[in-house]
Amino acid sequence: MTASLQCLALLLSFYSCQGLQFNYIEEETEFLNINSKYGSLWPLPQKVNFSDVSLKLSGVSFRIVDAKESSAGASCGLLQNAYRRYFDYIFGGAKKQWPVKGRRTGDSELQELQVWITAPESDCDSYPTVFSNESYELTVAQSVAVLKAPKVWGALHGLETFSQLVYKDEFGSRNINVTTVSDFPRFAHRGILLDTSRHFLPLKVILANLETMAMNKFNVFHWHIVDDPSFPYLSKTFPQLSQKGAYHPYTHVYTPADVKMIIEFARLRGIRVIPEFDTPGHTRSWGRGQPDLLTPCYSGSSPSGTFGPVNPIVNTTYDFMAQFFKEISSVFPDAYVHLGGDEVDFTCWKSNPDIQAFMKQQGFGGDFTKLESFYIQRLLDIVGQTNKGYMIWQEVFDNGVKLKPDTIIHVWKGNRQQYQNEMAQVTSAGYHTLLSTPWYLNYITYGQDWQSHYKADPQDFKGTDKQKELVIGGEACLWGEYVDGTNLTPRLWPRASAVAERLWSDKDVTNINDAYNRLSLHRCRMVERGIPAEPLFTSYCPHEYKGI
């Protein structure tokens, strides 16, 4: 792992940014230069109680250890890895802590953070799932702090919260106040979508953003790995897909070792990796390496030499899909795979005489959504045989495809009223759903667009309580037409942090002024940890970004 990924830096305190000038008015919102009573906590925990009692932390004496009652001990590599990571966050990775000039003496010192996994099975060697328990309780008391969590996933979040509570006083010493926290996420699915087809993202960029996701308590990496422009996934079963479909067959592919590294790096941070292989549209790059997969387009009565979506009328298509998704099911351990199904252009299908004859034979008339549904239905049956659940974009539901009860419908289209109506329809039909429409972070504006991201709520639609319980969360999406490794991170952060708090914190956490002050400090903390998160507005960080 590179030094930039280790993010060895000193933590900010909310006391160290008193000089920030946040008097800014946008959309009738005035941000005052007043520190939040919650300091720099982000996302805001469910319950927090502070006291005025301050404790010192010393890199020489402070330790993060397993509680003797914990079901996860020294053999739990996931926790041991996290202890080292957060010790480095807190103390800057220094091998030796030198005395601070002018440091006061006689103050109480916090000696330990004891991590106690309370459930008999810690999940230490498992992968996180949509059902994972991410709750935790943190008590910072005199001399000892205790972090209790049923599973390791909650402990990871608790370690992040603990690190955010540490601040530096005017003497340069690290302090933490006596505090109690009781916390759990509002939604089980809190995701970031990254697109690695339109621009190839280097491995270190993906890993750095997984690291940043953990800082914001996101727990799903939706990997939109292939699309029309390129096919960077190196398939063992069909190596010709990337050999001919990637931008470069050696430098711009994700090898099996790369994929394995990403999945494990994410697991150690409590993050699921859900791959998306979108069909029947968005598949031009597939066709370069798999002959006869795509539909030949016609100009009049002759082939035009161009190709359209996947050809849904030949058996070879389904033979290929069966073999391909069998591989995918073995490579990616998550219980779900995203199958796409959006934005299918019917123009090529309409031009093809064989397709026209098939439509007539099936009694589809001129309704090409029925042909799309025919394909999707067969694909869903194929994927279902791999014992994977599936997520699909909303068009598949809109077109009336028969879906398994555990299907997750991903809503992405329309304005606010339209996506609210879609959420109501999907949940009324009894399906679980997640929202992305208001969180397309590839769209940028001049100003603080994080506010609109912060105000959007996936349960803000007309429906019963039972319907709203079917909303499992949402995803912030960063599509790659104008994004690559040079600008992805600052475009994503801290704008995605606004989505993180909406998906984690209580629904009544809506104070935009308080959010601004906390998010400004959280952004500075990310910068100090080595993440080039862009500023919210005019301000400064005590530790500015120094580049790579």
Residues acting as catalytic residues? 343
> Which residues are CB-neighbours of 223 under 8 A, at least 6 positions away?
193, 194, 196, 262, 273, 274, 275, 276
- Structure tokens of 29? 């919102």
Query: Is 544 exposed, middle or buried, given 0-12, 13-18 or 19+ CB atoms closer than 10 A?
Result: exposed
Give the side-chain half-sphere CA count within 13 A for 222: 24
306 exposure class (CB count in 10 Å sphere: 0-12, 13-18, 19+) = middle
Interior/surface letters 460-479, b for 16+ CB within 10 angstroms, e for the rest: bbebeeebeebbbbbbbbbb
Whether the CB-CB separation of 66 and 74 falls below 8 Å is answered with yes
Q: Supply angle C-alpha 277, 283, 288, rounded to 5.
A: 115
Complete DSSP assignment for 77-134: HHHHHHHHHHHHHHHTT-SSPPPPTT---S--B--EEEEEE-SS---TTS---TT---
Asked if 72 and 120 count as a contact pair (C-beta separation under 8 A), the reply is: no
CA distances from 61 to 57, 67, 109, 146 (A): 8, 17, 9, 17
Query: Do β-strands 174-183 and 167-168 pair in parallel, antiparallel, or remain unpaired?
Result: antiparallel
Q: Hey, how many other C-beta atoms are within 10 angstroms of the C-beta on 271? A: 26
CB 382 within 8 A of CB 321: yes
